[in-house]
Amino acid sequence: MDTIENLIIIILGSSKVGKTSIIHRYFKNEYNSENISTIGIDHNNRFFKFGESKIRIDYIDTAGQEAFRAIAANYLKKADGVILVFDITQRDTFELVDRWIEELEKNNNINNIGKILLGNKIDLEDERKIKDEEGHNLAKTLNCNYMGVSAKTGENVKEALDEIAKLTYEKYISSPRAKASNSFSIKREEKKVKFNIKKKGSKAAKCCQDI
């Protein structure tokens, strides 16, 4: 079975949209209404099996504050996938998705990575400011899927993060980086063979040996 380690999915969005809560729900199946904002970067990983390939995906939770954008940029350069999150009850977080896309485009080829757009806090339907139609329209311009989720109830969280894992893998295996990695692996695993010609009168010798 082939193993590809360390595909990176980074989760982006403004502060307080619930990025950390989504990650906690996915990995721990728990919700804490008093979650403290991420300081810098937080890592979690999970293994997946796609066909004959077993891969490890690191989900990188980033701080939404301006002061930590330089840190996030370092991970954006390495990202194989991205989760864009906004809060359906706060229009400014929806409008700021474009700024995160700009950051992504500065540091990566957006067409070569998996993407998904999530509208969090669908449990607060009475406070909704962003219609689902707006989410789908934005996702269409980004060439990705949109899903409404709730970190509080868990609705659609597993489905969304499993989906971005699959999309990220599919993008990766068709990317120049994957092709280069496969070429290197094949070359590295090839055995070099030395052929020895048996001279007349010599004792029995192997026709070849691994070196």
Mean pLDDT in residue range 188-197: 41
**0.85 cut: is pTM over it?**
no
pLDDT confidence of 72, banded at 50, 70, 90? low
Mean pLDDT in residue range 119-145: 97
pLDDT confidence of 184, banded at 50, 70, 90? very low
**Rounded to a whole number, what is the largest CA-CA distance in the chain?**
95
Mean pLDDT in residue range 199-207: 46
* Cross-strand pairs, 118: 85, 147
Window from 26-40, 49-63, 88-102, 192-206 with minimum mean pLDDT? 192-206
Mean pLDDT in residue range 122-145: 97
Window from 99-108, 130-139, 157-166, 178-187 with minimum mean pLDDT? 178-187
Residue 211 has pLDDT above 50, yes or no: no
Quickly list DSSP for 9-72: EEEE--TTSSHHHHHHHHHHS---TTPPPP-SEEEEEEEEEETTEEEEEEEEEE--SGGGHHHH
Mean pLDDT in residue range 34-38: 56
Q: Give the per-residue pLDDT at 198.
A: 47
Residue 16 has pLDDT above 60, yes or no: yes
Per-residue pLDDT reduced to its tens digit, 77-93: 889 999 999 999 999 99
